[in-house]
């Protein structure tokens, strides 16, 4: 595995961990808002949706990482798309590092051969 791909995988692992941490935060907020009474129930259930979506994104990232290690072409494309989505978000640095790693000449050649 080349260095560019290693950088991408580390960036995606960090992103997945951050998504799992966000899920825990949303879960705590869900529990807090649920205990406040009827008025805060409308706020609590979007928090539960945040928990589910954050966990789903984290699992998807780990799935893409697994496929990148196996040098699947679709994972390379998915990684590029994920990296581009990360750039205009709070994950900007992770997105740039991952994108540079995926667009590295050696990484592109490794995935184009398959």
pLDDT in tens, the chain (114 residues): 788 899 999 999 999 999 999 999 999 988 887 777 766 777 778 888 999 999 999 999 999 999 999 999 999 999 999 999 999 999 999 999 999 999 999 999 888 865
The residue extents of the domains of the chain are: 3-112
In this structure, what DSSP letter does residue 40 have? T
The answer to whether the CB of 29 falls within 8 A of the CB of 47 is yes
Residues 6+ apart with CB under 8 A from 39: none
Give Cα separations from 104 to 14, 31, 34, 57, 63 (angstroms): 20, 44, 48, 25, 21
């Amino acid at each position: 595995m080349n260095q560019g791909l290693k950088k991408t995988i580390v960036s995606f692992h960090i992103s997945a961990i951050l998504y799992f941490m966000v899920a825990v935060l949303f879960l705590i907020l869900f529990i807090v808002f649920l205990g406040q009474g009827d008025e805060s129930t409308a706020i609590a259930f979007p928090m539960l949706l945040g928990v589910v979506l954050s966990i789903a994104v984290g699992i998807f990232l780990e799935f893409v990482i697994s496929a990148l290690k196996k040098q699947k072409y679709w994972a390379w494309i998915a990684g590029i798309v994920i990296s581009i989505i990360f750039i205009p978000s709070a994950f900007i640095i992770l997105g740039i590092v991952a994108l540079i790693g995926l667009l590295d000449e050696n990484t592109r050649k490794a995935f184009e051969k398959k």
